[in-house]
Structure 1
Amino acid sequence: MNDRFSKLLPHLYVVLAFLALSFIYFSPLLNGQELAQSDNIQMKGMSSELVKYKELEGEVPLWTNAMFSGMPSFQIWLEYPSNIASYFIRFWNSLFPNPVHTILLYLLGAYLLFCTMRMKPMLAALGAIAIAFVSYNFIILEAGHSTKAVAVAYFAPIIAGILLALRGRLITGAALTATFLALEIRANHLQMTYYLMLVILVFMAVQLVFAVRNKTFPAFLRSSLVLLGAVVLAVGVNFGSLWVNYEYAKETIRGKSELTAEVTGQESTGGLDKEYAYQWSQGIGESITFFIPNAYGAATNYPVGKNSELYETLVRNNIPPVQAEQITAQPAAIGYATYWGDKTFTSGPYYFGIITLFLFILGLSLVKGPLKWGLLLATVLVVLLSFGRHMQWFSDLFFDYFPLYNKFRAVESILMVAGLTIPLLALIALKQLLDTPETGRKELEKNFRYTLYALGGIYLVLLAVPGLFFSFSSPYDAQRFAQIPFADQLQNALLADRKSMFRMDALRSLVFTAIAGGILWAFLKGKLKTQTVIVLLGIALLADLWTVNKRFLNEEDFVAKSQTEQFFPLRPADQQILQDSTYFRVYDLSARGGAFQSAYASYYHYSIGGYHAAKLHRYQELVDHQIAKGNMNVINMLNTKYFIVPDSASQQIIAHRNPDALGNAWFVNGVRFVADANEEIEALTVAIPRTTAVVDERFRDQIDISKIIQLDSADASIRLTSYHPEKLTYSYESPAERIAVFSEIYYDKGWKAYVDGKEHPYFRANYVLRAMQLPAGKHTVEFRFHPTAYYAGEKVSLVSSILLVLLLGGGIYFGNRRRETA
């Protein structure tokens, strides 16, 4: 017992060190502050209705009407109670504050990976820091991309499981892979999961080649089949979420549009538009930031500060020093940007750490075998795909022909996988170097010197003549300074500041390379012990990454808890609208970035706008072709009862009541059939939704026109009597059969209609709404949201979760028995 505890003690020390590091970095948390994350703020608006019903009923509704006139909550917030991964995530998040819980996942997951690779605790801890503190891991936390960060945090332990299985520890490897892959999928950032799977395919292909060459194919086949079973089990655990999201994705902007190029100007590929998908592509030259963090000007809103040429230029042009200091501290003041790449904007660079990269490059010549080649090829693939539009011929091969690749945007984010592969090969190289006995170290010196001299030489050249390789000018500079009289001077000053930033960070990287080189050289010459080398390298590596990360996520990003509760202040316009207790929608024309890029209105109201990357395709097309053009008939049919607008006279946000909103439901006098989606969207340009429903020909068999009698609107009535996100109840009275249009979004993957409790067919009208032919008399209509994919999928998730617990128990049992017999 004591022997087992003594073996666990070093791991306990490492965990405590990780805890200390996390809380020191995020020290404002200890003062009761919170991290202000823009996407998490938007999330509060998106999920407002869901949170309210969760508090009232104990369950999260599967549908919300708070955004885009209604959409499933699958991609917003859903608990999936039959999925065991949901309970682990909830438990883990309750232990530590945000974002400490995420950084700890990075650190502990990477530590587990290096421990399974038989690295001692101190070296494994150094490797964990190299992975966890990659710059973009912190940059996405600052932006609030929490699900992406959590998904990336599970990369390392998934690889740990795969490596264990390939080494013959089948049960333990399968248990780890299935467990962490289940958590990975549950994080619900399928783009990151997809990128990881892409890299694993490359890695396994290399393993296969070496297995055939080394005549170990039977063992590789056994491991592969076990890992495939682990993947199937992880998918089963998440079957409910995967199924509903698979169905939903086909109906979103990631699915195939029914509109043709005649209307849209381009053919639908069944995925995202290429221009949209490639909008955030890593510049080929911008990849120098892997080595020199601020080489491309850091970030769009990165300040140059008082000690800059820009400040001096402002003062020389009679700008008061106090004002000049404010301008150089707040780029938005005059719209300048130190970042000079061609992305629309960026929050920071992909910096992997110069010490990590030094070891990675050393590992290319030092490390042998399939692990090196798998990691190298995976890294090369990741970098090439991150170039997107800058190497479009290559990206298009995947976008056009590789399954599901065209469903994802911001292709540069695939570099987050390199944040695992590069440190992993670097640590393998370091371990091999440290394990080399003194008698064999001379053979390493040649490779070591070449690597050190090559990197040092590159930095010296870049320091001397950076303008020989980089222009430091942005395609947006001219327009940013267009309204300023001394624009040319400001542009030249900004170029000088960018060049200065480049040189300073090139010198910085040279210094850290020299420090790492000196430490390792002393080890090769027998001047330093292994433990000392690990400690010194760890301090240097942490200092390098820590100080870069503090540029993009620091104390200034934290605010008092009282402030986070005021991100959605109740404006007079909101107060006015909330006096109306009926069910309706608003159109927020005051929203920063536009009504369809802000979830502010959704925090208090049901909105026709919102903020989400997976909107329903038809709704986005309605926005593009009708709402954005100001078609009031379309806006009215969405039951838009209030407009929220800025008032230029009072400088206040005010609410205007729209008397022409059509309400929750209405009877029409006629139907206009159209041949396809093209005609349907165009027909709305002139159609009058109050009297006529525009219906696709495919729904003709659900309508019996011969029974429809044109009546005066006063002869029939229909009204909403009960509202719930998943259940809408209407009562109506009509002397004859009528067609009713409901101001609710059509989504046939779960919504079912009932008349007096009996299921009744309904169809799509006016491109996005629901409609049905109703019998004469006085009746009740209900819409209930009960998606088969969710409820059936939850049953599969429950069975798979039980199997996963059994497998995990088996993995722990066999792992312990192996240690006892070792």
Structure 2
Amino acid sequence: MGNWFKRNGTHFAIIGIFIAICFFYFTPAFQGKTLGQNDVTRAQSTQKEIMDYRDKDTTILWTNQILGGMPAFQIWAPYPNNITTHIIGGLKAVFPSPIDTVLLFLLGAYLLFCVLKLNPWLAAAGAIAVTFSSYNIILLVAGHANQAYAIAFFAPILAGIILTLRGKYFTGATLTALFLAIEIRSNHIQMTYYLLLAILILVIFEVVNAIRTKTVPAFLKALAYLGVATLLALAVNASTLWSTAEYSNDTIRGKSNLTKSSVKEPGNGLDKDYAYEWSEGVGETFTVLVPNLYGGGSGLAALDNNSAVVKAFVNKGIPEDQAVGYVQQLAGIGISTYWGDKQFTEGPFYFGAIVCFLFVLGLFIVKDRIKWWLLAAAILSVLLSYGRNFIFFSDLFFNYFPLYNKFRAVESIMVIAALCFPVMAFLAINEIIVTKDRTEIFKKLKIVLYVIGGFTLLLAVMPDLFFSFKSPQHLQIIQYLTQALKGDADFANSIGNAIVQDRIGLARADAIRSLVLILITFGVLWAFIKQKFNATVLSLILLAVTLVDMWQIDKRYLRDDSFVAKADIQKPQPREVDTFILRDKDPDFRVIDLTQPLKQDAITPYFYKSIGGYSAARLKRYDELIDNQMTKSLNQDVLDMLNTKYVITANPKTQALSMQTNATACGHAWFVKSVRYVNNADQEMQIISSFTPKDEAIVDKKFRSLIDEKQTIVDPAATITLTSYSPDHMVYQSGSTATMVAVFSEIYYDKGWKMLIDGVEKPYFRADYVLRAAQIPVGNHKIEFIFHPASYYTGEGISLAGSILLVLALGGVVYTETKKKPVKK
């Protein structure tokens, strides 16, 4: 054990440096502050009911707080039998957020570079380049914690795979199983999917190499180990994956229920326009080299008092202090330093000027066959990130590649390139270090300097030679400005020209910065080739320069003032109308806030059960209901059947909020006088456009066998009331002198909900497109709806078995490695 610590002393020192970097970069986090993340604020409303029950030591897997009601699997759910749940929990207990995530990035990337046989200090430099790629930091600022966590495990998963392919079968496969299990547990399937695309390319290259070198048996053995590792990772996450797979078919990523609709519906997967909404511009790709080439993030925060826009106001006779205020107001009408065609962006993909320079060098000098995989994976990710801007190629994947059409914001696939670029870059440095005759390398180094340095110089000298610096909405914004300025077209045009000049200035400044970094890198490599210092010094210099490069850019997006005291985290504050509605102690009614976009409402669900809300995995049927019954006009019958008790509106002139009680809301449950059968979802949607939900139930004919029409009689005095409420366990009491059909104002989902009548399970069915209904027998009865999905509870048993096997395998690896004797030199 002592020898093991001695052998790995350098690694421990580097880990200490990583922790120190985190301390200085994220000092406020060590002081107990947290990031005031936009998406975290929205998540507070989404998770409100779930967390309320969690505080009572109760786990719920269903919430009625948002979008009428939905499973909680993609919002928050505990997976206690999954060993990775406790690993992640342990990390978060030791290191405050987001330091735990950043350390995972650093350590995972460091492991990958060590497996690729770089010296420890060079591996540390590479790990810094991978970790502080701007998108990773921007994700932390935006609050996409799961996405960042998932990306952090890309590198260590690849390390395990490469170890296995290179003959370290048991160790490599065990590490692959561990890191893949945590990756899956991070619960960001989109990122995992992108990683699997990259791994698929790697396997193809390895197959070709095995055939070419006649090492097929060894490759098949490695593949078998990796297959077992994958199965083990899947078993550990059985509960997560089973629940997600079962639920996904009923979400907006599943098949449409409608064939005829006023709203465009995709046949399967997401709507293409929605999926391609955040597509990387082709020209924006060059922000990996020059970060502010497209103006940085949305808004005007990048501008100071010396900006051309401020001067335009000053030249109009407005005092400078007032001019600065006017400029910031321009952001409210869509004027921004960012001039790409995304709706908005927090910032660009910046891989690092040093990394980009070395990546191109690596294409010329790296001999390891992994080079071709890195290049292919990077090219694929860049091309797919273009989405609607390279529609032919994107559509090939969207229409024909399995599951690809389930994901949106296609620009995020650039995370694959963000890993490939620094890996190639530092493999190039390693090649320079291990090569004895560096004459040929130096020639190629100069060629790369001329190409990349020359291009960067052109961007610095004449940035508008290649780019217009005008957004697609430039003319519309000028027209709007002209109207806002009471017809002063000259002033509007001067502001428009000024923002273009400011964008050019931002691009020029960053191009000069990138050129300087490229020249410094070239100079350092020239000095090493001329034997001015050794490999360790070279590695340390590159570590320092890379850290400075990435640190400076990342601080534009994650600054100390991005952190706030936990007590100061903004939560939705109750408005006057909210205070009034909260006096209602009914446990289960809904509210619709017409002042909020229904699918983006982050306010209403924080206080009570809402018709609206936000979820990227909302139920497809409910989404269709909103699109067809609540978008163009509001269907009062639908509001009634959803037990919408209160409606919040705003005065169109004063914007003052008001609240109306909906007297016709149907309540928690009710007996109907008749059942009308329909042939399909289209007919069902059409009929609920105008019907009387209190009197009739609209039921698909496939449920007809669950209704005994001969026994059904109308009892006007029949009653059914909610007596106990929990989101996943509702109890009703009925009383009638006849067998009748009851409709419940709860969202129908047939995978996990069961209905009991006096303790005996009975069938139920769907009515009114989205609600639950059942035939209730004559007499007084206790009716229960209980959410107990087998996908979760049986899956937890499989997860426990997989976790035990994984722990045993890890124990074997630790024992083997600590007992390993040092290699004699």
Q: TM-score range by the shorter chain?
A: over 0.9
How many angstroms apart in 2 are the aligned matches of 1:819 and 1:804?
A: 25
How many angstroms apart in 2 are the aligned matches of 1:540 and 1:374?
A: 27
The one-letter code sitting in structure 1 at the alignment partner of 2:484 is I
Deviation at 1:148?
0.1
Task: Count how many residue pairs are aligned between Structure 1 and Structure 2.
Answer: 814
Does the CA-based 8 Å contact 2:265-2:271 persist in structure 1?
no
Q: Which residue of 2 aligns with 1:244?
A: 243
C-alpha distance 31-804 of structure 1, shift in aligned 2 (>3 A): closer
The one-letter code sitting in structure 2 at the alignment partner of 1:722 is S
How many angstroms apart in 2 are the aligned matches of 1:78 and 1:649?
A: 43
C-alpha distance 223-817 of structure 1, shift in aligned 2 (>3 A): farther
Deviation at 1:191?
0.3
How many angstroms apart in 1 are the aligned matches of 2:307 and 2:409?
A: 32
Does the CA-based 8 Å contact 1:67-1:599 persist in structure 2?
no
How many angstroms apart in 2 are the aligned matches of 1:418 and 1:388?
A: 16
Q: Which moved more, 1:579-588 or 1:244-253?
A: 579-588
Does the CA-based 8 Å contact 2:593-2:604 persist in structure 1?
no
Matches within 5 A, 1:156-171: 156-171=155-170
Deviation at 1:37?
0.6
C-alpha distance 698-664 of structure 1, shift in aligned 2 (>3 A): same
Q: Which residue of 2 aligns with 1:627?
A: 630
State TM-score, norm by structure 1: 0.96
Matches within 5 A, 1:559-598: 559-564=564-569, 566-589=570-593, 594-598=597-601
Does the CA-based 8 Å contact 1:276-1:409 persist in structure 2?
yes
Q: Which residue of 2 aligns with 1:205?
A: 204
Q: Secondary structure at the match of 1:551?
A: coil
- Give the counterpart of 2:533 among 528, 534, 548: 528
Does the CA-based 8 Å contact 2:261-2:628 persist in structure 1?
no
Q: Which moved more, 1:503-512 or 1:23-32?
A: 23-32
Matches within 5 A, 1:90-489: 90-260=89-259, 262-264=260-262, 266=264, 268-303=266-301, 304-329=303-328, 332-437=331-436, 440-481=437-478, 482=480, 483-485=483-485, 486-489=491-494
How many angstroms apart in 2 are the aligned matches of 1:641 and 1:716?
A: 22
Q: Which residue of 1 aligns with 2:611?
A: 608
Q: Which residue of 1 aligns with 2:551?
A: 546
Does the CA-based 8 Å contact 2:287-2:349 persist in structure 1?
yes
Deviation at 1:119?
2.4
Q: Secondary structure at the match of 1:295?
A: helix
How many angstroms apart in 1 are the aligned matches of 2:60 and 2:153?
A: 28
How many angstroms apart in 1 are the aligned matches of 2:531 and 2:11?
A: 28
Q: Which residue of 2 aligns with 1:749?
A: 751
The one-letter code sitting in structure 2 at the alignment partner of 1:555 is D
How many angstroms apart in 2 are the aligned matches of 1:302 and 1:804?
A: 50
How many angstroms apart in 2 are the aligned matches of 1:273 and 1:590?
A: 25
Q: Secondary structure at the match of 1:580?
A: coil
Question: After superposition, what is the alpha-carbon deviation per residue over 1:530-579, rounded to whole angstroms, capped at 9, x for unaligned?
Answer: 22222221221111111111111212322232221x42223332222221
Q: Which moved more, 1:43-52 or 1:474-483?
A: 474-483
Q: Which moved more, 1:155-164 or 1:310-319?
A: 310-319
C-alpha distance 479-434 of structure 1, shift in aligned 2 (>3 A): same
Question: After superposition, what is the alpha-carbon deviation per residue over 1:276-329, rounded to whole angstroms, capped at 9, x for unaligned?
Answer: 111111111111111110101111124222111110111222333222212445
Question: After superposition, what is the alpha-carbon deviation per residue over 1:152-209, rounded to whole angstroms, capped at 9, x for unaligned?
Answer: 0011110110111011000100010000000000000000000000100001111111
Question: After superposition, what is the alpha-carbon deviation per residue over 1:427-447, rounded to whole angstroms, capped at 9, x for unaligned?
Answer: 11111112223xx01121111
RMSD: 1.7
State TM-score, norm by structure 2: 0.96
Q: Which residue of 1 aligns with 2:781?
A: 779
C-alpha distance 506-187 of structure 1, shift in aligned 2 (>3 A): same
Question: After superposition, what is the alpha-carbon deviation per residue over 1:70-122, rounded to whole angstroms, capped at 9, x for unaligned?
Answer: 10000000111111111111111111111111111111111121222232221
Deviation at 1:129?
0.1
Does the CA-based 8 Å contact 1:297-1:338 persist in structure 2?
yes
How many angstroms apart in 2 are the aligned matches of 1:767 and 1:725?
A: 21
The one-letter code sitting in structure 1 at the alignment partner of 2:229 is A
- Give the counterpart of 2:620 among 598, 611, 617: 617
How many angstroms apart in 2 are the aligned matches of 1:506 and 1:179?
A: 42
How many angstroms apart in 1 are the aligned matches of 2:624 and 2:344?
A: 26
How many angstroms apart in 1 are the aligned matches of 2:698 and 2:722?
A: 22
Q: Secondary structure at the match of 1:14?
A: helix
How many angstroms apart in 2 are the aligned matches of 1:783 and 1:820?
A: 63
How many angstroms apart in 2 are the aligned matches of 1:591 and 1:43?
A: 19
How many angstroms apart in 2 are the aligned matches of 1:676 and 1:49?
A: 34
Deviation at 1:625?
0.4
The one-letter code sitting in structure 1 at the alignment partner of 2:723 is T
The one-letter code sitting in structure 2 at the alignment partner of 1:560 is A
C-alpha distance 796-3 of structure 1, shift in aligned 2 (>3 A): closer
How many angstroms apart in 1 are the aligned matches of 2:336 and 2:19?
A: 36
How many angstroms apart in 1 are the aligned matches of 2:673 and 2:140?
A: 54
Q: Which residue of 2 aligns with 1:25?
A: 25
C-alpha distance 219-302 of structure 1, shift in aligned 2 (>3 A): farther
Deviation at 1:330?
6.0
Does the CA-based 8 Å contact 1:589-1:646 persist in structure 2?
no
How many angstroms apart in 1 are the aligned matches of 2:127 and 2:656?
A: 51
How many angstroms apart in 1 are the aligned matches of 2:2 and 2:790?
A: 54
The one-letter code sitting in structure 1 at the alignment partner of 2:464 is G
Q: Which residue of 2 aligns with 1:683?
A: 687
Question: After superposition, what is the alpha-carbon deviation per residue over 1:717-776, rounded to whole angstroms, capped at 9, x for unaligned?
Answer: 110000011110000111111111000000000101111111111110010000011111
How many angstroms apart in 2 are the aligned matches of 1:788 and 1:366?
A: 54
The one-letter code sitting in structure 2 at the alignment partner of 1:607 is S
How many angstroms apart in 2 are the aligned matches of 1:405 and 1:340?
A: 28
How many angstroms apart in 1 are the aligned matches of 2:317 and 2:773?
A: 66
Question: After superposition, what is the alpha-carbon deviation per residue over 1:356-402, rounded to whole angstroms, capped at 9, x for unaligned?
Answer: 11111111010124211111111111111111111111111111111
The one-letter code sitting in structure 2 at the alignment partner of 1:48 is K
How many angstroms apart in 2 are the aligned matches of 1:307 and 1:246?
A: 54
Does the CA-based 8 Å contact 2:280-2:386 persist in structure 1?
yes
The one-letter code sitting in structure 1 at the alignment partner of 2:137 is F
Does the CA-based 8 Å contact 1:207-1:370 persist in structure 2?
no
How many angstroms apart in 1 are the aligned matches of 2:22 and 2:683?
A: 57
Q: Which residue of 2 aligns with 1:722?
A: 724
Does the CA-based 8 Å contact 2:715-2:737 persist in structure 1?
no
Q: Which residue of 2 aligns with 1:739?
A: 741
Does the CA-based 8 Å contact 2:589-2:667 persist in structure 1?
no
